[in-house]
Structure 1
């Protein structure tokens, strides 16, 4: 019984060794993959070519090349030629000595294959120091300037420009705009200014849009402003009764040219405006249009009396 067991164990060991030997042989002997170099001797810095060929085009994986002492300068894409794949690498070495390109593992249809290892000798370049021209030691070269070297000056310049721009805007452009925005009618004579403002009021269409209170406020302000400029009295600040009292006093003293009709229209207009502004009165459209006509009539028929040369001599 023991002999049978020992024989079985021996057979298992033999089968294992046979399988291991077969796998080793198939892994090492790989006619499907091949690695070649165009030279085995180079000088430091020279380049040479490594070519890996695979006699198969489907399910081929060429991993990254592993090197020791040598460096990859460039590589090409995989080329397909008939029934094989080829990939080329440009290599070089910067240290003298003998270096191996180790076996590279290539996978073909999930089966691993190894290329041959290759030996490359890298030789130094002999330098004849007697023929080399000597040069003086160069001075230390300054590093190139970067943005960080100038950013503080750029920030200061931007701040100065911002201050100058603000100063120009505030004291030049803004002042010029304010001068340009001054209404031209302020320089007109009192009568022309009042007529201009009446036309502007008509264009606003205030009472037509149910803004009767705003309309009468502007209408009486135009009339009061005309009286203030033409007769040189504070008509805008005084009440309706005070304005009417001043006009009557001027009429009695014969210092203005007007009629009782003009004064009556002025009284009716100012009273109507007070009712609209303070008593919320709502005049009809025809009444509003009449008040507009009366305002223009008052402006045209209320003016200071012109003193003739003869009257001036009498005074």
Structure 2
């Protein structure tokens, strides 16, 4: 009976490990000559909810081509064609792959780039070139310059008197009204989503733009210098406004704003790396804050309408 239980545990353990996502990176050669191309391949044993960002931090190597992702035997395979134009040993750094919003890292790979030896005994010899003519100088064209200037002036005068001066239709300046603070904030949030910054390992830039959108909305809607204030200064001002009942919001909304701004400060200055679901939750909080942070006067007008 004990042996059977042991076999069952081993089977379940092996099945569990077999179901874990695996990310692998491989190259078809580790030694090339300058200018030669080689293939770099990333394979993932999953086919759904997988994000493979663009290659980055390549030092000494360049991407020649990025091929489409193939599905082979229930695996995703992404291939790149790389090359190098400097001799030396270069690492392809570890790449971050997202599987179901979870980050996985590939192994780093070493590539040696060698110079091409030149056999000087077989280099073709060329005869001595003849003496080159002296290049033209500005003084060679000086005598024609005044005629060109006179011609341009005459053409300009003709255009002025016979074209522009006779044109009586006034050109009206097109005035494009600025968007309302709320509409502008929603538009910028949609544009931020389309950039896919945090999905491509640009978390710091994502949080910087996200908090700038919120601060700009607060500055335009509530007339508070939010862009120039620190997190604590802005939160204290909003709490004071809320205490005197000059804005329509709640303590929970102000607390969510404080948490989001503090998270952004940690990302920007302490190099914090929030998880994917935390980033998505912060995005939802950003819209919730903008939806529920308005001047008291505007809310009362909405209720009258």
TM range (shorter): 0.3 to 0.5
TM-score norm. by structure 1 comes to 0.42
**TM-score between the two structures when normalised by the length of structure 2:** 0.43
